[in-house]
Structure 1
Amino acid sequence: MSSSTTSQDDKNAALTTMVYVVDDDESMREAVSMLLRSVGLAVATFGTAQEFLAYDMPDVPSCLILDVRLKGQSGLAVQEQIAESQLGLPIVFMTAHGDIAMTVKAMKAGATDFLAKPFRDQDMLDAVTHALARDEERREVSRVVGDLRRCYDSLTAREREVMAFVAAGLMNKQIAGEMNLSEITVKIHRGQAMRKMGARSLADFVLKAEALGVKPPQSNATVAARGTRA
């Protein structure tokens, strides 16, 4: 069991954010937890990475404060596990034994901050504020892409093909030639696809296709279109 977990008040409250602290030093866990709670943040603390990874995390903007040197497993190894699990959780590292190489490795792997112990309270609060804002932004992007994906799933196969050609920069006449359709039929498919995708303009339609990673079909016309844009 961890020496400190989310308080009953935290559990009963409608959480808007959550901060996790993983450190095998109980006094450090308590100190960081008290600091964060003093500014109204909900906190869950853990003595081991295994306890944290097994925790049922609420679906709210969150961040992890992680000690680099843990018993049995390094914080950098935990960072790799989190990346592999695609949690997307921003990490603030803290350590009393850091070095430049370790800091660089952690930051390259996506850490938002790397604080040396002892750190100033304000530095930790600033790091957590930045990490939570980053997670909120990530979640918003994920929600937008999720909405786009649901709209895209509602398109017919023809409409998806037209969308891909439009994203590649082809004109209606060129698309008609590629798909062996009349130009008016292409216009109808494009209009229906734009409506289903909620696109306000052709440019918006293309941006949505790019956000979804829609790949244009390979053809002489698409190759020529990309060459022209380049």
Structure 2
Amino acid sequence: MPKTIRVVEDDPSVRNGLEYLLMSEGYESEVYESAEAFLAGDAASVPGCIILDIRMPGMSGLELQNILIERKYPHPIIFLSGHGDIDIAVGAVKKGALDFLQKPVNADKFLEIVQEALKLDQLRTGNLYNPQDLLLLAEKLTDREKQIIGLIFQDISNKSIAERLNLSPRTVENHRAAAYRKLGVNSAEQLKDKFFLIKEELEAAVNS
């Protein structure tokens, strides 16, 4: 699967400049003008990294980082910082970001750290299941089991799942146990760790 560099930057001149630089070096990229647009449009199953501006209108880069940490987002983050944001950027690195680059961005340094991020992403995800293998495992589930697994990904309790699907809690538990056996997991935590790369596909089954 080709790697994609996500650029989340509200300044169109910076955003377009980085997109052109990446394209000229043969990289695939996706650009977003805001953190909100990134959350709405990104496919976490695609390998790569994120170039993330610290200060943006609406949700800041740091707020987006916190959300991605909660979601166990696997891809490395590289922050873009202004002159007055160095201390903030250092704090972001301490929370797990790979590094930060100060604007205006030096092209050689930028490409060097992007390459480092992609290597790190390969190491992080190299032991994960291939998304296609995960999809094949998920195909073993019945439609009802897929619905329940999708709701588990949304942190919905068994009781609430039962009410939503008009089933008894015991029936939900039986479906859940059967799905776990087919998927080779023993808990919701294992489910989310193993099948994170096809999270969107599993959640889509909720309304099918």
Query: Is TM-score (shorter-chain normalized) higher than 0.5?
Result: yes
SS for the counterpart of 1:24 is: coil
Residue in structure 2 matching 1:54, options 23, 40, 55: 40
Gaps of 5+ in 2: 138-208
1:22-171 correspondence runs (5 A): 22-57=8-43, 59-143=45-129
Post-superposition Cα deviations, 1:183-210, rounded to whole Å, max 9, x if no partner, equal: xxxxxxxxxxxxxxxxxxxxxxxxxxxx
Moved more, 51-60 or 111-120: 51-60
For residue 6 of structure 2, what is the amino acid of its counterpart? Y
Which runs of 5 or more structure 1 residues have no equivalent in the other structure? 1-14, 151-230
Q: Specify the SS of the correspondent of 1:33.
A: helix
Q: Secondary structure at the match of 1:133?
A: helix
> Which of 8, 20, 33 matches 2:6?
20
Distance in 1, matches of 2:91 and 2:42, equals 28
Return structure 1 stretches of 4+ with deviation > 3 angstroms. 97-100
CA distance in 2, matches of 1:18, 1:97: 28
Q: Give the superposition deviation at 1:103.
A: 2.4
Which is bigger in relative contact order (C-alpha 8 A, separation at least 6)? Answer: 2
Secondary structure of the 1:128 match is helix
Instruction: Name the aligned partner's letter for residue 102 of structure 1.
Output: I
Q: SS where residue 74 of structure 2 aligns? A: coil
Among the aligned pairs, what percent are the same residue? 38
- Contact 2:74–2:125 under 8 Å retained in 1: no
Residue 100 of structure 1: how far off its partner (Å): 4.0
Q: Structure 1 length as normaliser, TM-score?
A: 0.54
Measure, in 1, the Cα distance between the counterparts of 2:57 and 2:10. Answer: 7
- C-alpha distance 124-103 of structure 1, shift in aligned 2 (>3 A): same
Code of the aligned partner of 2:110: M
SS class of match (2:27): coil
Letter in 2 for 1:33: E
Mapped contact 1:90–1:112 kept (Cα < 8 A): yes
Number of aligned residue pairs: give it. Answer: 133
Task: Give, as a single letter, the amino acid of the residue that structure 1 aligns with 2:111.
Answer: L
CA separation of 1:124 and 1:87: change in aligned 2, threshold 3 A: same
Q: d(CA) in 1 for partners of 2:44 and 2:55?
A: 26
SS at match of 1:143: coil
**Cα distance in 1, alignment partners of residues 44 and 62 from structure 2:** 24
Alpha-carbon distance in structure 2 between the residues aligned to 1:97 and 1:24: 17
Output the TM-score relative to the length of structure 2: 0.59
CA RMSD of aligned residues (A): 2.2
